[in-house]
Each structure stands twice: as C-alpha cells, then as structure tokens.
C-alpha cells in the first residue's frame, strides 16, 4: 500500500527572519532567586478556596504539616508568602481547607524539601549507574551517549533539512543558517498528519511515509539538487553509536512499528529516502527532542548545556564530561547525554513519594510499573492523577455532594490541558466550573476551589520533582567539572512549562534550594526542536570538515611503521659509519668513544666530587660511595645566558667560582677529591680525562672552546682563580653518567638514554667494532651523539614545514636535526608553529589573531604534559591558553590537545626507532637470538610526560621484537654517574 501524506491546513510558510512555528509564545519567566522575597501571584476572581471560608478554622502557622514541607498552596493576595529562609525555604501555608480529607490529600501530594533532597540524591545515584559501563545495563536512567560533543558557535552556515517525528505528525523543515551568530535562521516548514495505523504498522511503512513527506516538501519548495544534509529528530530511546548511527531500544508514546527495535534508524530512514530517489539527501545526524531543545536554546549567543522537556512525557539532557560517559569511547571533551529520566524510579526508588492516586494511574496505564518518574511529571498523566484524587474525595463524600459522579470513573475524562486552565489565576475558577459542569457535575463554589487546589498541588509536585532531577544534573556537572560554582543555561520546553507560569517559578526556586552551588538560568525554547536539529547537523558538518582539514595539516607529522623502520635502518647505517675509522668523519652520528670500559661492580668506595654541566642548570656534588650505598649532597647554580653565550674564559671562571662556593659550604676546601665531570656536549674524547669539544648544543655558544680540551679549560680557570685542589680524573657525558648510575643498581644496564632539554644515547659496544680506538678486547661505552642524526640530510623527508621553521630560528640551524624532533627544547616550539598554522587556516580560536602566540618559546614543552593528561586536561589546557591570552572553546582545547599528542607521539616513536637500532646491534654483536638489556633513562620530558615512555616502549617492542628491554629511571644520573665513573677509574688504577 502506498501511503500518501497530506499536508495539514496552511502549515507551509516561508520567509526571511525568524518565523513563528505555530507555537504559543513562551510563558514569561519569573525567576525566584534564593533568599528573595516572593509574593504570591494575585488571586483570581472567586478564589474562595485560597482564603479561608468563614466556617474554616485556619490553623495557626505550620500546624498542618512539618515546617520543611514545601507547599504549592501559595496563592491569595491577603496572604503574601513569607520570604524563603534556610529552614523554610519556600512559602508554606497550611492547607486552607475545611475538611481534613482534603487536607490529607493535599499533604500527600506535597513533598517536603528534605524528601526532594533525597530524591535528588537518588537521581544522582541512578545517573552514575547509567554512566558506568559496569552498571549501565541495569540502570533505569539510561544516560545514553548522543555523540554530540559541542554546542553551536554561531559560525554554522548553510541549508539544512530537518525531519521531526512527532506524536501524530511529521514535520519537515528547511533551515538556512546564515553563520551570523545564528540569530536569524530562515525556516520553512510543513506539517504532515500521520494516519493512526502508521504508528502501529510496519516499520518500513513508517519510514516510507516520512520519506514521502520529505519528497513532497522538497517538491513544494523546488529545492536545489546539491547535497542536502538532514538532521532527524527521533524522540525515542536509542542506543547511539555515532551521530549518524542509532539503534532503537524500544518504542514508547503509543508507537509500536514492527521490525524497528534493535535496528539502525538512520539507516532505515536513509534507505527510505533513497527509495524516493532523493539521492542528494544525506542523513548526517540523529537526535532526540531534548537535544534539539538544548541546541535551539544555544543559538542565542550563550551556550546552553542542559535541556528539559516537560510535555506529554519528560526527559532531559546535558553536556557531560566525555570521560565519564563510559558507554562511549570518547575520553576527552564533553558529550551530550540523554538521561532518559522518565524511567527513574522503575526499580522502586520512588515508592516513598508515590500516593495511592499515582498507583491507580500506573495500574491503569498501558505500561504498569514503568516510567514511574514520567508518570508523576508528564502531562499525559496529570489529568489522571487529579481524577483519582477527586474520585477518592467523592468516595469520602467531601466533593460534589448531590451530583452524579459516575463520569469520574472514566479514564482520561479530565485532560491535562483542562487542569492547566483550572489553575490559572485569572480565569481558573470559572474554568473549573465550566470543566466540571461539562462533565455533568454540579460543583459548589467550594468544590471549584478545592478542585483548583488539587490541580495546583499535582502540577506543583510535578515541577518540584522536575527540579529535584534538574538539581541532580547541575550538581553532577558542578562536581565533575570540579567547580565551586556552576553557572549554566537550561533550555526548557514542553506544554507544562509553557502552559503554567508558576511551573517555571517552582522549577527555578526549588532547583536553587536543592543545588545552591549552581546558578541556572532557564531559557524557554521558542522554536521547538527543529532549528536545534538543524544546528546539530550543521555542527556535525562543520566539525567533519574541520577534522578533515586538521588531519591534512597534521598528516606529515604522523609516521607510519614503514617510516619508523626506515629511520631505524638509517640509524643503524649511521652507527656503522660513525664507528668506522675511515667513515667516521662523514657520519652524522658520531659514535664517540668514552674510554669508559666497564660499568660499576659494587666494590667502588670513596668520596668524590662531581660536576654536571650540560642542561638548564649547573650542579656541583659531593658523592660518598660506601658499602651501604651512595650518599650525595649537591648545590644547583644558574648559568646566566650571557655567560652561556659569552667567552669560554668567563664560562669556566664561573664554573670554578661555583665549585669554590660549594666546597666552602660543604667544608671541603682542604681536601683534594677525585672529580668526575659530566660535560654533556659532543666531545672527541682522547682519554678518560681528555675531551675535545666538537660543538656546542642546547643554547650554549661560549667562544674559544670548540676544538679545546674542556678538562684543560677547567684546569686553566682553576689556576686563574688560584684554586689548587682540583683533581679531574674523568670527563663523561650525561648519557654515560646515567648508564653508570643505573648500572650501580642493575648490572644489565648497558644503555644510557636522555630525553630532556636535548636527547642522546650511549651503549656498550664491542672494542673490535670501534675502529676509532686501538684495541680489540672487551667493550667500551660509545657516546652516540644521536641528536645530530640526520644532519647529513638522511632524514629530510620526515622533516615537516613546522620542523623547518623551528630549526631556522635556532642558534645551530641545520644541526642536531634528530634532537629537534624529539627533545624538550623544541617540542613546545613545534606545537606553537602548528597552532599558528591552524589559526591562519581559521581552524582554531575562530581564526582570531593571537599576538602572544607569535612569541618564540612561549608555548613550553611542559604544557604538553599538562594538556595531555587524561581527565581534567581540557580545563588545564584552557587555563594554559588563557595565560597566553587565548580564549579557547572546548573544541579549541581538544584541538590543541590533539596537536600536542601528535607531536609528542612522533617524538617518542622516533626515539624508539633510534633505540631499536641500538638494541638490535647489541643483540647481533653478541650473537644472541634474544637480548635482555636495561636502559638507564634520564630527562624531564621522559619522566614527566604522561605518555612519552609508554609510547616509546610500545614502539620499541614493535620494532625490536627479539629484545626484552627494561627501562630504569636514573636518580640523579649525571651527578652520581660522574662520581661512579671516577670511582671505577680509581678502582682500576689501584695496584
């Protein structure tokens, strides 16, 4: 059967500017801030029930209920409500009823504040249950991920189609977003009534019907044939896997089409659309009505991060911290969660607040025991609750005496719309009479007044429960964002909220009482869900396009396994060149002999001085090596940049001054202790205590040093300063020091690695392979100076434009190319250049210029560590960026995080490729099928970065599967290590 949809009335409209979409304007919102005096709304004509009738004995203050009881009976000019206070937070007035039965009924429908607080607590628990992967399956509040990870930023632009599946009709919209802050989208829409049989027929027929509506709609507006993205508003519980992939969990609201549950509804709609030959229409996003409301409200400038629907049913959604949404894979940023809170209480958690009236409503519903929260709040049920209260009071002969009341036994005889009319302040009493008389009842004035009170009680209870739920969401958001105070906008829609001003007032004030740490502003949704859906679709498109551009920009920084294998092979090749006597001069990896021939054996003893020069700071140490271990004392001295880059004489004078200061402080002036000098710059070592500086690195450039023996320079400075007690026995590199200090704890440690300001590695090579030193026996530690790997151009194809920009601005351009991809001195700079490129391409910070980001070195490598930590990293990223005068949205922060991850991952992987070459060579040297070796590591980047070591080790396992490599972090390697080299040398020199 082909179902032809027919348009409803004159639903078709088109025009510039905002259109009225056929909804009543939102009720004006009255905000009742906590602690503010609240006056009751004026009582309407004939509001006799609000003031005590002459015969009624008005109980003096709260005798009719506990003082904390929160009352909805606040009406009547004569009785302005007292100002809320801590204990009496909301106006309470005892029930002004003559009959205790009526009072009892009203009290049963009144929930004390402390109970509301408990309901909020239970809602929070239910939410956690829904969020957790372990308990999700049993949760009533499902907390479904929506894969909507951002709210609109106003730049969304273009034509979007929306299809909204509603209770009894399908609405199709054509929304043109202008990219001007979303102030004025142009909307054309059409409503198609849905034949009754469709909602309970075959699933295929439902989707065919929707697609036919769409075809008819598009034909009517002679739409262009270019690709049209479509957002689908589907207000049912779905298990969403992506924005455009969602399986229906179960139908509700009277729908029961076959063959849809468990299926991907996006796919079903897309197939139906294709059947209509609308091949240019792509369903790109699916969302429910709550999400649509949130997005619609977000279009007015301020982001809206929570939405509530209080209509036929009730539901809510909010932007949760993505890492808490365990059912989705996202770990950073935010994700909108559809709470599906209508089922809250299905496990009995609300039994203490359920009245006998609620039980009757539930039993008579089509789904007894289910949707218990919705049945207390949703407008589908409020008329029924009132009917049951009236029935009970009639049975007690308190109402409608003398009337025939049989009509009240008929289900749904009282509509929620009528309830809302009855509680109206102005017309309510007259409406009550009209409604009751229409039912064949003969109400007295007092009957009308009591019915009005009951209606108010039922609706107010719904608002208070809604507030408890909202308070739970707000407190959860505040807690999970670790805020002291949450300021947030809440979009609200639904006939109850729109139809009764007081609903919003109660919602606002009770929420304020239950979540005082949160400041929520309720925003009535003016345009329903359609525009919001268009925006979600547009955001999805914008993000997808951005993602593609970002991926393109970052692609050169992503190394494939093949790239890394090539780097490993090149490193191996350069190592061989560096070791060979003939080829040594042309190798970019210098493979310098250190004259260190053994690692510690544990018999070393004595007291040693150690110097550590080569990084950010200069240190002097005294190291005591005894049977019970090593003890050290040290002092850090700053080397001013002017000294680093001045004359060699000044630099070495400064060093001697620091040593003398240290010896004075340590009372060591009178002793001549053997000294080990950690000098972490490339040196041609000619003996253990003779090292010719080949070049400066890491920002040093003191003149007159390159080509000189640094031990000699030190001795000369000592003479100039008349410091005669200096006995330098060994000069070592920090990498060697690190290996030696770890070797003291682990004899398998035969490799040293540094990833700090710079990067370097050393390892124990067979003497027979070291062509540059005489002798074939035993091993010698080789200082690879691998930072210079690639200086001969062999890595040129993996350098990106960003690396080139960083290199150009260094004092040693074209040198230390491998180091400039890996170490702490450069990673921040690489990131900074990428961020600048992203800004230029309008992919970051809305393309706004960032003057501070132009400053060299302003983006420090330690920021990468902070930004890449899981959990609260995004907030930290935002704080860091704020310090750089950058206003980052969460999307911006996510992008900055992605850039940092890309840069640090590449650094770790390149380091792994280098190490893979080393361990594989050692394994082959020793003719082993499997090598077990330990790497002693030092350097703040390695130690502090949250993922560097993990990525390095993982990649190394992959590239060198026949080596079992353990990593041992060195504790003060260059200090302790230098002393140990001196100690080993002294031990060997002993007769």
3-state helix, strand, coil in the chain (%, to 5): 40, 20, 40
Which is closer to ligand ADP, CB of 147 or CB of 948?
A: 948
Taking the complex as a whole, the smallest distance from the CB of residue 662 to ligand ADP amounts, in Å, to 18
E strand intervals along 480-598: 486-493, 518-524, 592-593
E strand intervals along 426-498: 486-493
- Which SS3 state, helix, strand or coil, does residue 562 take? helix
Q: Is residue 862 at the binding interface for ligand ADP, with CB under 6 A as the rule?
A: yes
734 a catalytic residue: yes
Q: Is residue 865 at the binding interface for ligand ADP, with CB under 6 A as the rule?
A: yes
Q: Is residue 903 at the binding interface for ligand ADP, with CB under 6 A as the rule?
A: no
Taking the complex as a whole, the smallest distance from the CB of residue 802 to ligand ADP amounts, in Å, to 17
Q: Is residue 940 at the binding interface for ligand ADP, with CB under 6 A as the rule?
A: yes
DSSP designation for 723: -
Taking the complex as a whole, the smallest distance from the CB of residue 939 to ligand ADP amounts, in Å, to 4
Query: What is the number of other CB atoms lying within 10 angstroms of the CB of residue 3?
Result: 16
680 a catalytic residue: yes
Which is closer to ligand ADP, CB of 451 or CB of 732?
A: 732
d(CA 240, CA 238): 6
Which is closer to ligand ADP, CB of 137 or CB of 636?
A: 636
d(CA 651, CA 714): 10
d(CA 455, CA 449): 10
Long-range contacts of 658-662 (CB under 8 A, 24+ apart): 658/618, 658/620, 659/609, 659/611, 659/620, 659/723, 659/726, 660/721, 660/723, 661/635, 661/637, 662/620, 662/622, 662/635
**Part in contact with ligand ADP (CB under 6 A); list of ranges 507-515, 638-646, 701-709, 854-862:** 854-862
Q: Restricting to residues 726-785, name those near ligand ADP by CB under 6 A.
A: 756-757
x-or-dash string of contact with ligand ADP, 569-608, rule CB under 6 A: ----------------------------------------
Taking the complex as a whole, the smallest distance from the CB of residue 780 to ligand ADP amounts, in Å, to 24
Burial of 173 (0-12, 13-18, 19+ CB in 10 A): buried
Residues 6+ apart with CB under 8 A from 104: none
Q: Is residue 825 at the binding interface for ligand ADP, with CB under 6 A as the rule?
A: yes
- Which SS3 state, helix, strand or coil, does residue 410 take? coil
Taking the complex as a whole, the smallest distance from the CB of residue 693 to ligand ADP amounts, in Å, to 17
Taking the complex as a whole, the smallest distance from the CB of residue 575 to ligand ADP amounts, in Å, to 23
Q: Is residue 682 at the binding interface for ligand ADP, with CB under 6 A as the rule?
A: no
Query: What is the number of other CB atoms lying within 10 angstroms of the CB of residue 249?
Result: 16
User: 740: part of which helix (H) or strand (E)?
Assistant: helix 734-745
Look at the chain and count its residues: 991
d(CA 819, CA 559): 16
Residue tagged 């995004």 (tokens): 874
- Which SS3 state, helix, strand or coil, does residue 665 take? helix
Which is closer to ligand ADP, CB of 91 or CB of 615?
A: 615
The binder of ligand ADP chosen from 151, 288, 315, 861 (CB under 6 A): 861
| CB half-sphere exposure, 912, CA atoms < 13 A | 27
Q: Is residue 939 at the binding interface for ligand ADP, with CB under 6 A as the rule?
A: yes
d(CA 675, CA 729): 6
**Part in contact with ligand ADP (CB under 6 A); list of ranges 230-238, 302-310, 766-774, 938-946:** 938-946
Residue 964 bridge partners (DSSP)? 932
DSSP designation for 406: G
CB distance 311 to 496 below 8 Å? yes
Q: Is residue 832 at the binding interface for ligand ADP, with CB under 6 A as the rule?
A: no
122 a catalytic residue: no
d(CA 365, CA 389): 16
Taking the complex as a whole, the smallest distance from the CB of residue 894 to ligand ADP amounts, in Å, to 20
d(CA 948, CA 954): 10
Q: Is residue 824 at the binding interface for ligand ADP, with CB under 6 A as the rule?
A: yes
Strand-strand pairing, 749-755 and 931-938? parallel
User: 802: part of which helix (H) or strand (E)?
Assistant: helix 801-808
Taking the complex as a whole, the smallest distance from the CB of residue 757 to ligand ADP amounts, in Å, to 3
Catalytic residue (one of 50, 208, 358, 734): 734
Q: Phi first, then psi: what are they for 125, rounded to 5°?
A: -60, -45
Q: At what angle do helices 873-883 and 890-925 cross, to 10 degrees?
A: 110
**Part in contact with ligand ADP (CB under 6 A); list of ranges 229-237, 526-534, 847-855, 856-864:** 856-864
Taking the complex as a whole, the smallest distance from the CB of residue 732 to ligand ADP amounts, in Å, to 14
Taking the complex as a whole, the smallest distance from the CB of residue 613 to ligand ADP amounts, in Å, to 10
Query: What is the number of other CB atoms lying within 10 angstroms of the CB of residue 724?
Result: 8
DSSP designation for 21: -
What does each C-alpha distance from 969 to 599, 753, 802, 939 come to in angstroms? 17, 10, 31, 9
Taking the complex as a whole, the smallest distance from the CB of residue 756 to ligand ADP amounts, in Å, to 2
x-or-dash string of contact with ligand ADP, 782-821, rule CB under 6 A: ----------------------------------------
Closest by CA position to 850, among listed 907, 814, 888, 813: 888
Taking the complex as a whole, the smallest distance from the CB of residue 212 to ligand ADP amounts, in Å, to 60
Closest by CA position to 90, among listed 464, 353, 455, 451: 464
Which is closer to ligand ADP, CB of 494 or CB of 824?
A: 824
CB distance 462 to 495 below 8 Å? no
Burial of 264 (0-12, 13-18, 19+ CB in 10 A): buried
Query: What is the number of other CB atoms lying within 10 angstroms of the CB of residue 524?
Result: 18
Instruction: Using CA atoms of 934, 935, 941, 943 in order, give the dihedral in degrees to the nearest 10.
Output: 30
What number of chain residues touch ligand ADP (CB under 6 A)?
Answer: 15
Taking the complex as a whole, the smallest distance from the CB of residue 943 to ligand ADP amounts, in Å, to 8
Q: Restricting to residues 609-628, name those near ligand ADP by CB under 6 A.
A: 615-616
Catalytic residue (one of 588, 680, 893, 970): 680
d(CA 126, CA 77): 41
Which is closer to ligand ADP, CB of 312 or CB of 738?
A: 738
Q: Is residue 944 at the binding interface for ligand ADP, with CB under 6 A as the rule?
A: yes
**Part in contact with ligand ADP (CB under 6 A); list of ranges 92-100, 212-220, 231-239, 855-863:** 855-863
d(CA 837, CA 831): 10
Catalytic residue (one of 387, 450, 619, 779): 619
The binder of ligand ADP chosen from 945, 956, 976, 979 (CB under 6 A): 945
d(CA 814, CA 185): 53
Positions touching ligand ADP (CB under 6 A) are: 615-616, 756-757, 824-825, 860-862, 865, 939-941, 944-945
- Kindly list the catalytic residues: 619, 680, 734
């Amino acid at each position: 059967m082909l179902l032809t949809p027919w348009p409803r009335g004159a639903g078709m409209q088109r025009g510039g500017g905002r259109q009225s979409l056929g909804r009543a304007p939102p009720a004006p919102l009255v905000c009742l801030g906590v602690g503010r005096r609240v006056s009751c709304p004026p009582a309407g004509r004939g509001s006799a029930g609000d003031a005590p009738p002459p015969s009624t004995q008005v109980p003096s203050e709260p005798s009719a209920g506990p003082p904390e009881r929160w009352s909805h009976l606040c009406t009547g000019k004569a009785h302005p409500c007292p100002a809320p206070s801590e204990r009496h937070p909301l106006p309470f007035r005892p029930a002004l009823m003559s009959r205790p039965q009526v009072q009892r009924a009203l009290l049963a429908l009144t929930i004390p504040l402390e109970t509301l607080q408990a309901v909020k607590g239970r809602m929070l628990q239910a939410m956690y249950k829904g969020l957790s992967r372990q308990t999700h399956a049993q949760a009533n509040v499902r907390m479904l991920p929506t894969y909507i990870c951002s709210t609109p930023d106003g730049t969304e632009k273009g034509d979007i189609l929306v299809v909204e599946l509603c209770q009894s009709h399908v609405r199709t919209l054509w929304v043109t977003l202008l990219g001007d802050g979303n102030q004025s989208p142009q909307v054309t829409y059409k409503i198609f009534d849905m034949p009754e049989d469709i909602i309970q027929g075959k699933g295929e027929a439902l989707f065919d019907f929707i697609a036919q509506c769409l075809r008819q709609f598009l034909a009517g507006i002679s739409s262009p044939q270019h690709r049209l993205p479509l957002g689908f508003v589907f207000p049912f519980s779905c298990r969403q896997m992506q924005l455009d992939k969602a399986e229906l969990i179960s139908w509700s609201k009277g729908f029961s089409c076959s063959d849809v549950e468990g299926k991907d509804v996006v796919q079903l709609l897309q197939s139906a659309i294709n059947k209509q030959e609308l091949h240019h229409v792509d369903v790109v996003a699916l969302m429910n009505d709550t999400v649509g409301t949130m997005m619609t409200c977000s279009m007015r400038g301020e982001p809206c991060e929570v939405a509530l629907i209080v209509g036929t049913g009730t539901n809510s959604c909010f932007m949760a911290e993505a890492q808490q949404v365990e059912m989705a894979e996202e770990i950073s940023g935010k994700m909108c969660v559809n709470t599906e809170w209508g089922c809250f209480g299905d496990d009995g958690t609300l039994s203490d607040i359920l009245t006998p009236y609620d039980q009757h409503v539930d039993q008579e519903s089509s789904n007894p025991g289910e949707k218990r929260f919705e049945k207390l709040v949703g407008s589908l049920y409020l008329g029924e609750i009132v009917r049951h209260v009236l029935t009970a009071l009639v049975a007690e002969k308190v109402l409608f005496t003398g009337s025939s009341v049989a009509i009240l036994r008929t289900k749904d005889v009282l509509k929620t719309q009528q309830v809302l009319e009855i509680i109206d302040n102005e017309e309510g009493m007259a409406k009550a009479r009209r409604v009751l008389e229409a039912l064949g009842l003969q109400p007295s004035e007092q009957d009308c007044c009591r019915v009005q009170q009951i209606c108010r009680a039922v609706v107010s209870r719904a608002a208070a429960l809604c507030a408890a739920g909202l308070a739970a969401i707000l407190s959860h958001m505040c807690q999970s964002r670790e805020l002291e105070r949450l300021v947030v906008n809440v979009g609200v829609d639904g006939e109850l909220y729109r139809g009764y001003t007081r609903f919003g007032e109660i919602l606002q004030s009770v929420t304020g009482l239950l979540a005082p740490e949160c400041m929520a502003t309720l925003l009535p949704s003016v345009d329903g869900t359609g525009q919001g859906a268009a925006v979600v679709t547009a955001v999805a498109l914008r993000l997808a396009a951005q993602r593609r551009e970002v991926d393109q920009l970052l692609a050169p920084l992503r190394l494939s396994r093949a790239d890394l294998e090539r780097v490993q092979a090149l490193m191996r090749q350069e190592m061989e060149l560096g070791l060979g006597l003939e080829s040594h001069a042309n190798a970019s990896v210098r493979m310098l002999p250190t004259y260190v021939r053994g690692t510690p054996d544990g018999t070393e003893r004595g007291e040693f001085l150690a110097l550590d020069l080569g990084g950010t700071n200069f240190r002097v140490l005294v190291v005591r090596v005894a049977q019970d271990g090593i003890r050290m004392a040290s002092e850090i001295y700053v080397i001013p940049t002017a000294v680093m880059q001045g004359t060699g004489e000044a630099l070495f004078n400064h060093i001697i001054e620091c040593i003398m200061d240290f010896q004075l402080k340590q009372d060591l002036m009178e002793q001549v202790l053997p000294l080990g000098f950690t000098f972490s710059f490339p040196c041609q070592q000619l003996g253990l205590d003779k090292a010719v500086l080949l070049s400066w690195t890491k920002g040093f450039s003191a003149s007159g040093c390159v080509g000189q023996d640094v031990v000699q320079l030190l001795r000369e400075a000592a003479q100039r300063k008349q410091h005669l007690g200096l006995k330098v026995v060994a000069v070592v590199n920090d990498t060697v020091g690190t290996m030696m200090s770890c070797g003291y704890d682990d004899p398998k440690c035969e490799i040293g690695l540094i990833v700090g300001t710079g990067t370097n590695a050393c390892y124990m090579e067979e003497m027979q392979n070291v062509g540059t030193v005489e002798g074939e026996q035993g091993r010698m530690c080789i200082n690879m100076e691998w930072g210079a790997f690639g200086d001969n151009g062999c890595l040129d194809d993996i350098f990106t434009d960003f690396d080139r920009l960083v290199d150009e601005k260094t004092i040693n351009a074209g040198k230390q190319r491998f180091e400039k991809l890996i170490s702490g001195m450069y990673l921040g700079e690489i990131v900074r250049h990428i961020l600048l490129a992203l800004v230029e391409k309008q992919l970051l910070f809305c393309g706004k210029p960032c003057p501070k980001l132009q400053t060299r070195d302003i983006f420090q490598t330690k920021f990468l560590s902070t930004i890449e930590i899981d959990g609260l990293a995004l907030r930290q990223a935002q704080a860091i960026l704020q310090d750089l005068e950058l206003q980052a949205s969460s999307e911006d922060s996510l992008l900055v995080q992605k850039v940092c991850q890309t840069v640090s991952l590449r650094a770790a992987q390149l380091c792994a490729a280098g190490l893979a070459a080393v361990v594989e060579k050692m394994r082959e040297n020793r003719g082993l099928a499997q090598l077990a070796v330990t790497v002693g590591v030092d350097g703040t980047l390695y130690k502090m970065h949250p993922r560097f070591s993990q990525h390095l080790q993982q990649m190394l396992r992959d590239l060198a599967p026949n080596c079992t490599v353990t990593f041992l972090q060195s504790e003060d390697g260059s200090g302790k290590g230098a002393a140990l080299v001196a100690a080993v040398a002294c031990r060997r020199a002993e007769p």
